[in-house]
A and B are shown apart, each in its own frame.
Chain A
């Protein structure tokens, strides 16, 4: 396949579940993991005679997002009905926004693997309600419907077709996830479907300005899968075009188990949605005062925080961008650094041992068994020479397991580094005396033997001798 001959054109539609306490148009609860149909009231069920009333918080969250991407907030927006029939949509239409969305054009800057950054245009973002869930495999020959999710507020964020590779698409999706967690408008739990992504994918000959026929991949809910789904789809399109056939406009589902996209069958006539303004909802007019009051609540955004981490703490771009992605992790880092007074070492410990330990037990940063203050104490014991970096790792593991402070752990397990010159000299002498053959080899110019001695000395001290001192003293004593 001549992949360089082809350019990919990708646009993403990301659905973000807004972290409200109630539904977008009703006062029903929005808890996840509750028994089926225990979170949907008469409004969500579309019973006759009910009327939707818009959730103020959902509107404010949409505005906050719009401000964060530098978008125009439309002071006049309209809710429309998007009509289609599917059993998990009890009203027969989804309330959405079509011609007049609440958030207009904005942009988001993503960091690429090669260190460059790229600005991705955002066409619009609009408010809408989520549908329920269909379960096809629980009852033979039947479909089970759970309407708990029905009416959950969604912000649909539509990008321009600016993305040019699966990696860029995934980076954009990640950046959005990071942004909505900074703004605290979404819990960001991908496994619970808090963020879902549709990808519009087409290919064209490199250098061409014409857009090719696109296909749409529906409902991907992980950063990794969006990358794989787009890769698969692009290759499929290249194969079709190179064999002289045309791409069909269709909606596809990505099956992560077999890494393949396949056409959706059921919503055959669904792309004719016949949008019209919902007569049950008046136009939404926003005052400048409201928009300004929300502007004042904008938190420090990830790119500014990244810049600050580089300036204030002297971190590399890589470390800074890594740390700021998850706001909780960035908070943890800052809180630790405050007491450890060593940002670089703290960054290494947070990105290394801490993340590894959290991942091992699938814990969130907030569930860490070691607090920032405790990690800072550990780092102070490294910088003051009490712990070697190797023994510090052991200490970390014990702290994690036993949830005890570092000084207790050092005492219990005798991890204190031996830094006393006389003590180390005594051990070195002992080791030299019991290995005269190797001493002779060194004196004849075989430098490599030093490693052998360092190993023996560390062994004799259970790894507790200060390695720098061992090196220096060994060179003196062996001569």
Chain B
């Protein structure tokens, strides 16, 4: 079985992990993956993939504007705002 790259995963999830946390998490994930492997042994060729446990159809809404935007309220919890923008540490493409 391929080794799980916990560091890569933590980077993707933006969760900072160090030393013991990494090995602990590795153990956990390894166990989960072993369970997944066990499930993979079941023959599912005849089974339709299930995306959602509820057997219901997606409800649609009419295309109308129903929301009034209260920017001040929405931005009340933001650490830094300027001229209506959210201001974050610089990220560059």
Contact = CB atoms under 8 A, between A and B. Distances in A.
Interface of A: 20-22, 26-29, 35-42, 45, 53-59, 78, 83, 85-87, 100, 134-136, 138-139, 141-147, 253, 264-267, 269, 272, 274, 277, 279, 281-285
Given A26-B67, A277-B52, A56 B61 contact: yes
Contacts of B54: 282
Nearest to A253: B93
Given A277-B52, A282-B52, A38 B65 contact: no
Given A37-B84, A42-B74, 20 more contacts: A21-B64, A26-B67, A27-B64, A27-B66, A36-B85, A37-B69, A38-B69, A39-B69, A40-B69, A136-B93, A142-B80, A143-B88, A145-B87, A146-B85, A266-B93, A272-B8, A272-B12, A277-B51, A282-B59, A284-B58
Contacts of B71: 35, 37-38
B59 to A, nearest CB: 7
Nearest to A21: B63
Contacts of B85: 36-37, 135, 138-139, 144-146
A136 B92 contact: yes
A76 to B, nearest CB: 9
A86 B64 CA distance: 29
Contacts of A141: 90
**SS class of chain A's interface: helix, strand, loop or mixed?**
loop
28 contacts: A21-B63, A21-B64, A22-B66, A39-B69, A54-B60, A54-B61, A55-B63, A56-B63, A57-B62, A59-B60, A85-B14, A100-B51, A134-B91, A136-B90, A139-B82, A139-B85, A139-B87, A141-B90, A144-B82, A144-B87, A145-B87, A146-B84, A253-B93, A266-B93, A274-B12, A277-B51, A281-B58, A283-B58
Given A53-B61, A142-B90, A45 B52 contact: no
Contacts of A55: 60-61, 63
B63 A147 contact: no
B86 A147 contact: yes
Contacts of A138: 85
A238 to B, nearest CB: 26
A29 B60 CA distance: 17
B56 interface: yes
Interface residues of B, number: 36
Contacts of B60: 53-56, 59
Nearest to A36: B84
Contact of A41 (B67, B83, B93): B67
B88 A145 contact: yes
Contacts of B91: 86-87, 134, 136, 143, 266
A285 to B, nearest CB: 5
Most buried by A among B66, B71, B90: B90
10 A-B pairs with least C-beta separation: A27-B66, A57-B63, A144-B85, A56-B60, A41-B67, A145-B86, A36-B84, A277-B51, A282-B58, A284-B58
Contacts of A38: 69, 71, 84
Contacts of B14: 85
B57 interface: yes
Contacts of B58: 54, 281-285
Nearest to B83: A36
A40 B78 CA distance: 14
A146 B85 CA distance: 6
Contacts of A53: 59-61
A29 B62 contact: no
Contact of B11 (A35, A57, A269): A269
Given A283-B57, A284-B57, A87 B88 contact: yes
A230 B12 CA distance: 31
A86 to B, nearest CB: 7
Nearest to A20: B63
Contacts of A281: 58
A143 B63 contact: no
B89 interface: yes
A136 B90 CA distance: 7
A274 B87 CA distance: 28
